[in-house]
Every structure is written in structure tokens, then in C-alpha cells.
Structure 1
């Protein structure tokens, strides 16, 4: 009897241990992949988290989830023994702007199988370093989280149309457990009003509704319903002073969200300087960095020498959420928004702007 009790307790401990140690096993067998090193990255290619040798195209990874209960985006790159790097993408069943779509990542389902040959698909017009190649991997065998990802068009949330809300709700009802749909909803939350977001969220079912991402979106959306209580916080300048974002002695305020690590943001700075030097005195320029590294931000300010107000906000802070709500900021930068003294949005633009676009933006009444 005591022995049976011991084994029962051991069995329970095993179940608890397994539930705590969630993991993703990635098995690769790519016959035409040269021997070398395969790198596993999380979210983006620069965030490498593991590496392993590939021999005759065979390799494997085990990604431990740790304390997280939510899947993450993973991807692989490869460098062979001759120093040639191969940047992987994988075919999907979805489209982007009407054309077949491949993506470089997959979600951390329990098992990922990558079996088959790769093919070079580097466009001739694309100038890459001599030892860098773009390759498309074989169709991969995944779990249900990646399956939803690979069956959702890459621009599914991009185009806001009158009938799009019903299409999105139907998609979520079809896959009510999908973290990819939840993550994309978070990214695009300001493209839809608070009532629409609420209706989308009600379409999710099961454990996902208890996730931290779901709860954060729920809290954020509640703040949108109570928008009158959302205030514009003070932000830190390069000297450590807490300043108001806008100065009411100006009639309009051109606010530019950017970061030191953002290539298009840096490319836009010379143009901003030219426009700033000629703009009328009724419009205030304000740049707000979302850098997490203050030193990198300050170094860039020293290098670029922008002559207008420079502020920084932590993109993980409640203050940042207020900017998202008030200015419909969706994390894509550079993002430029023109507001009046009542913080009414007069015009906005996402991405690298031309001189004509900037001038048109500023002239909006």
C-alpha cells in the first residue's frame, strides 16, 4: 500500500514537472545544407538565443519556455564552414498584398520539423553582401499555433475597411486559441475603436483569455473607454529634466516618434532638419524616442544635433500607453503626428516621409 502511494506521488510530481518545463523541439534534416552552424533566434534575427552544429543537413534545438506560458516567434539562420550565411524563410499558405507569402519565423509549438531541401531565392536586384544568401526552406511541420500564423495573410490587419471588423471576428472565432491573432491585434489595436477591440476579444476562448497579453490588452482597452482620464505625462529630456510634451505658445505640434536603432528614423532626420529650418513659428517640433537604452539615445542626439525638443519614453511604461491612446501610435516608427493644443489629431504619417509629405502634414489645419 505504501509502495503504491509512493508511485502515485511520484507520478503527480512528474506531471507537475512536465507542465512546468514546457519546451519546443526543433528537428532539421536539410540534405543540401552545407556543414556549419545553425543559429536559433527569438522575435528577430539579431536576438540569437542558441546555436548548434549541422552535419549532413541534420541539426536539432530544444527551446525551454521557462516561466512563460505564451508561445514566442522563433527563426533560424545558418553560417557554413566557408563563412557563407543563409537567411531562412518558410513558405506559408497565406498571401501578402495578393502574392504568395513566406516568413522567416514560426511559433514555438511543442514540435517543429524542417525536412527537405532549401532553394536560393535572392532577387537579382537586391544588393546583399557577397557571403549572404536568402534561402527558402521546405514546408515545415508545426503545431496549431504556427498553422494559424501560416494561414493568416501577412497584411490581414493592415487595411482598415468598413467590413473588416466582421472578417476579423470570424477569423478569431475560427481560431479562438490563436496567439498570433492576439499578438497582431495588440500591434494594431489603435486601428480600431474600443468597442471593436472589445468585440474581437470576446471571440477568443479558453486559456488564452487568462494570458498576460490578453489581460494587458483588456486593461489598455478599458483606458480607451475612459479616455478623458488619460493625460499627457511629463517626459525626460537629454539633461534629465522633466518637460511637458507640448508648449501651448504654439498653435500646432509636430510630434515624431523614433529610436536610435531605427534605420528609416535616422534616414528621416536630415529631411526633418531642412523642414524645421523653414517651418513657420506657429508649429512646434518634438521628437520622442522609444529607446530603452538612454546612452544610445544620447549618443545619437550628439551625432545628429537636432535643434528642437528631444524627449524619451520607456515603451514598456504606462506613460507610453497614454501616447498610444492619445496619438493612435501602433509601435511602427517613424510615426509623425500633428496635433493642436487640445491634442486633436490633425494629420499623421507612418514610415519614412518625403519632403512633400512632411510639408503637407505641417500645413494641415
Structure 2
């Protein structure tokens, strides 16, 4: 009996230890956000993931004070945004003044990263643009000071346009920024989003420069895997894609010397708005340049419905994200994370030019001319 009691006590001690460890692990994921904004009206503060439409928590604000204790389930930091609705129904978009720049001017970040502790003790500054009038129901507000950790600090010291206008000087700027913040998820996330705007060698140099726990992250490992496939691109075959008749077909026709490949989707407004201009240019150059549209729609029904309405007279294909085919297409055409995206390629699948965003007739015509 005595031995059984000792075993039971030992079992109990082990069980308590496990529970304590689990509890500690959970506590490490709690993101504490404490606010004391003197001129903030009573109402509700909303905490959102990445954008204002993705609400993850909300708390009442009383005399400018509020507090979030958010349980972060992700192993990686996430972008956080804030907005406030006072008791009169006035919506405030909240941004944070940084130490960085945007196009040689000041830069306000609409996001913070989910550091363990974020303290917002500062008054709001109304930065609503002149002429912005919606009946006083919406404002743009600025916080000049916020105390957070390493991840948010990296955002506060990274120019807002660093990844917006990628050119020959961008690589060195990004590399230097990684050396300054070698464990910054903001930099890793942005590089991953624009990975095809850099050469595979440049991305590899970025990855080699990161240091710390970030190298064990899922985003880092996925980017490294993807980039290794880019390096070995010649070993990857370009897949056949399904056309509008339900048949698998080659993406490009080698009877043409140049190919204008347009990535779009039925839900993409700018993509649809660009189609009339593409039709005009197609009628002028269809004998010299092959036009190919590749939809990234998830649902074939939405794609086919849009095809009927738009009646584009050139090759129509579809590839769905999160598939092996998409990944290979992304590598070959240096696909951007945004659409519309257009690539001009030759018969060797070399991307001669690429462009993100919609273009008018004049811009498309200039784009296809070398």
C-alpha cells in the first residue's frame, strides 16, 4: 500500500509538471496590447488580422483606456491592424507614425506585428485628408508613439516603398536591411510576396543573411524550397493546363516568336476592366504575338461564366493556386502575388518583360514593343 501511495504521488507530481509546462507554453502565445489614449472617445476598439475586415477581437474603450490579451495560435507573428468606432458611430482608421519614409516623405504604417507586449500611450492626431467628406462618419487618425518588440521595430525602420518599386537598386537595400534586422518577419514576408521580382540567386543571398529563430519558420522553409526549385528550373517541365473546352493543352504555341501571357480572375475588377484594351491590341498584333490568358479562379463555374461575358478570342487556360501546376507556372512566368499580371515571353520561356496592374491600350502597346 505504501509503495502504491508513493507511485500515485509521483504520478501526480509528473501530471502537475506537464500541466504547468502546457500552461507556460500557452502564456507565451498571449499577445498583450495595452492602450491609454487620452483623447480617444468611449466606444469599441477592434483588433484585426492584416486588414480591417478580418476582425479577431474587440474591447470597450473607457476614458481612452483599453486592453487586449489575444491568444496567438500561429507559430509566426501576424500583422495586426486597429480601428475604433465611438459611441456616436464615428469610424477611425488608426495608423502609426514610423521612423521610415515613403517616396521621400513620411510613412505611417497601418500594421504592427504581434510582439508579446505592445503599449500604445499617446494622443490621436487627426490626419484625415482635406476634401475627404463622408458626413463626419469616418476619420484617419495617427499615433506617433508605440512601444513594442523587435518585430514591430523592424517595420518602424523599413521604408514603406522598399518592395513597391523593385529595380536594380532594391536588392542592395533589402540585403542591408536584413543585415540590420536579421530576424525580422516583416522582411521575410515581403520578400516571399515579391520573390519572383528578384533572381533566384538574390533570394538565396537574402535567405543566407537571415539569422535566428526565423530560419526555423514555416515561411522561411517554404521560400527556401520554392527558391531551390527556381534554381533547378531547367529540370522542371512546364505543365499542360486545362483550356475552356476542358482539354489539357500546351501553354504556348511555338509557331509564334513572342507570347503575351495574362494572369487574371473572374473576381478581379481591374483584370476585367483591362480586357477591352487587350482586345484592341490583339486585333492589331494577333498574327505576330500569341495572346494567352490564364485564370487563377478557384471555381471553374465562375471562370466559364466570365469567359462567356468577356468573349476573349484568344487561348483561355486555368490554373488553381496551391497546386503543383501553379507553383511551376509561377516559377516560369515569375508570377506576382497580385493580378492582373502580364508577362511577355519568348519561345525559350525567357521573361522579356512583366507588369503588375491594369494597363490601357497605349501602355499595352508600348509594353509589347522591345
Q: Report the TM range for the smaller structure's normalisation.
A: 0.7 to 0.9
* Cα distance change of structure 1 residues 343 and 128 upon mapping to structure 2, 3 Å threshold: farther
Contact residue 313 and residue 319 of structure 1 kept, 8 A: yes
* Cα distance change of structure 1 residues 266 and 142 upon mapping to structure 2, 3 Å threshold: farther
Give TM-score scaled by structure 1 length: 0.87
Q: Which residue of 1 aligns with 2:3?
A: none
* Structure 1 counterpart of 2:358, from 322, 344, 352: 352
* Cα distance change of structure 1 residues 78 and 308 upon mapping to structure 2, 3 Å threshold: farther
Is 1:72–2:89 an aligned residue pair? no
* Cα distance change of structure 1 residues 348 and 166 upon mapping to structure 2, 3 Å threshold: closer
* Cα distance change of structure 1 residues 264 and 140 upon mapping to structure 2, 3 Å threshold: farther
Is 1:19–2:25 an aligned residue pair? yes
Is 1:337–2:354 an aligned residue pair? no
Residues 47-62 of structure 1 correspond to what in structure 2 (within 5 A)?
A: 47-62=54-69
* Cα distance change of structure 1 residues 363 and 196 upon mapping to structure 2, 3 Å threshold: closer
Q: Deviations over 1:284-338 (max 9, x none)?
A: 2222233445555455445544343333323323322222321222313221111
Q: Which residue of 2 aligns with 1:328?
A: 334
> What is the Cα deviation at residue 213 of structure 1?
0.7
2-side partners of 1:128 and 1:279: how far apart?
46
Match of 2:349, SS?
coil
1-side partners of 2:257 and 2:132: how far apart?
45
Contact residue 336 and residue 356 of structure 2 kept, 8 A: no
Q: Which residue of 2 aligns with 1:180?
A: 186
Q: Deviations over 1:59-82 (max 9, x none)?
A: 33333222x211011101223333
> What is the Cα deviation at residue 162 of structure 1?
5.3
Q: Which residue of 1 aligns with 2:35?
A: 28
2-side partners of 1:209 and 1:110: how far apart?
20
* Cα distance change of structure 1 residues 282 and 41 upon mapping to structure 2, 3 Å threshold: same
Q: Deviations over 1:104-130 (max 9, x none)?
A: 111111122222222221222556676
* Cα distance change of structure 1 residues 126 and 116 upon mapping to structure 2, 3 Å threshold: same
Q: Which residue of 2 aligns with 1:243?
A: 249
Deviates more, 1:142-151 or 1:351-360: 351-360
Residues 18-167 of structure 1 correspond to what in structure 2 (within 5 A)?
A: 18-20=24-26, 22-66=29-73, 68-125=74-131, 131-160=137-166, 164-167=170-173
2-side partners of 1:320 and 1:212: how far apart?
19
Q: Which segments of 5 or more consecutive residues in structure 2 lack a partner in the other structure? A: 1-5
Q: Deviations over 1:246-284 (max 9, x none)?
A: 233444321112234444333323322333344333322
Aligned length: 363
Match of 1:13, SS?
helix
RMSD: 2.8
Is 1:195–2:201 an aligned residue pair? yes
* Cα distance change of structure 1 residues 117 and 241 upon mapping to structure 2, 3 Å threshold: farther
In our comparison, the structure showing a higher alpha carbon Rg is 2
1-side partners of 2:125 and 2:41: how far apart?
13
2-side partners of 1:94 and 1:141: how far apart?
16
Contact residue 46 and residue 59 of structure 2 kept, 8 A: yes
> What is the Cα deviation at residue 203 of structure 1?
1.4
Contact residue 162 and residue 170 of structure 2 kept, 8 A: no
2-side partners of 1:169 and 1:6: how far apart?
52
Is 1:318–2:327 an aligned residue pair? no
Contact residue 114 and residue 138 of structure 1 kept, 8 A: no
> What is the Cα deviation at residue 159 of structure 1?
5.0
1-side partners of 2:318 and 2:263: how far apart?
9
Deviates more, 1:177-186 or 1:78-87: 78-87
Q: Which residue of 2 aligns with 1:218?
A: 224
Q: Which residue of 2 aligns with 1:265?
A: 271
> What is the Cα deviation at residue 20 of structure 1?
4.4
1-side partners of 2:309 and 2:83: how far apart?
33
Deviates more, 1:2-11 or 1:199-208: 2-11
Q: Deviations over 1:147-197 (max 9, x none)?
A: 111111112244556565444333222222111111112122223222222
